[in-house]
Amino acid sequence: MIRHAQYFLLTLTIVLVRSLCYSQDSAKFELKLDSAWFVPNIGSIVSADDLMAHHPSKRDSKLYRKRAALITSEPTRRNHSTYYSLACALWELGKLPESEKMFLKITDSKQPYYVGTHHHYSDIPGDMTIGTYGYGSYTSNYKNYACIYLAKICIEEKKFGEALKYIEWADKKYIVEQTCGTGYLWYRSEIDGLYGLSYEGLEKYDSVVNMFLPQYAASGNETLIRAIQKLYSQTEINEHLEIAERSIVCVPDTFQSSAFITHNHGEKNETTTEVKYTSGTATMNLFGRQVRLPRPRLENGEGVTTEIFIDEFKASWFYRALIDNG
């Protein structure tokens, strides 16, 4: 699995993990991948602490012991995959100078095994079908992953200008794509999280707010909270939250929506209940920016109101992290 985004458990939810598999040295140029897709809590984002966390494993230590000589050597046609995997392991083990040196050789390389983008047609284990629907397909690129790691290394070393350069390269120069919505969301969460930490380190707090405020309702964004607290005093924050609450404009749908809830799934007494409700949209003025509120979850027969949106806003992780209840 692609090794660039190794997240850990978030409130018992296994998120999408992509890590380059530890393969034998190979003469082939393709990126060797496994795939594992898990359903994350889309209402959350990966926090800064989680994004930068190291999770060394026995496999990392074993690879380091066996292939440490690669650190002072060059990647070749036969060892390029293991070379990359060792660079990843060094990151996990906290050996940043060695890891950085190896990733820089990957990004600087003009060899065919590190150049180009590779397409993987399915996220379904064992499915090798090519040219069909392409469910869960995605592309991969060694330099994309190397740049993501280099951004993390630079952030940890407080070289925020360089970190921003590398995350821009990963995002705009060595582009990868995911057709699976879950994969896309978690990839963007990592990329945007590294942007946020780079901007924060450069004291570009307005850039942090502009990037993350439209997704204010996604819980766990400490970077956004810190940026707002740098830009505003607590009194000003409280005033802006009050302005946001008073500015909420609700527009109910002109049609009724419905959903089906299954009870006792797979059992003999399985039943399905239809829930009908009238949803709607709402916007508000949040810290001087027009922001759309997420649609609330409604009960059977319920219709959306401004008061429901207000209650949802005040119950959000974002609101509770900022408000001073005095």
Checking if the pLDDT of 224 tops 80, the result is yes
* Contact predicate 192/51, CB 8 Å: no
The pLDDT value recorded for residue 266 is 85
Segment 197-226 mean pLDDT: 94
Segment 43-72 mean pLDDT: 88
Long-range contacts of 151-157 (CB under 8 A, 24+ apart): 151/194, 151/198, 152/51, 152/52, 152/91, 152/194, 153/91, 153/96, 153/99, 153/100, 153/103, 155/52, 155/194, 155/197, 155/198, 155/201, 156/52, 156/96, 157/96
- CATH code: domain 48-230 is 1.25.40
- Residues linked to residue 252 through DSSP beta bridges, in sequence order: 280
Claim: this prediction has a pTM higher than 0.85: no
Backbone angles phi, psi at 284, to 5 degrees: -155, 165
What percent of the chain has a predicted confidence (pLDDT) above 90?
66
Residue 29 to residues 32, 116, 143, Cα–Cα distance (Å): 9, 10, 14
Give the CA radius of gyration of the chain: 23
> pLDDT, tens digit, for every residue of 306-319?
999 999 999 999 99
The pLDDT value recorded for residue 133 is 43
> pLDDT, tens digit, for every residue of 106-129?
999 999 999 988 887 765 555 545
The token pair at 36 is 């594992």
> pLDDT, tens digit, for every residue of 146-186?
999 999 999 999 999 999 999 999 999 999 988 888 888 88
Tell me the pLDDT of the chain averaged across its residues.
84
Domain limits, the chain:
48-230, 234-322
DSSP 68-100: GGGGGS---TTTHHHHHHHHHHHHHTT-HHHHH
> pLDDT, tens digit, for every residue of 126-156?
554 554 444 567 788 999 999 999 999 999 9
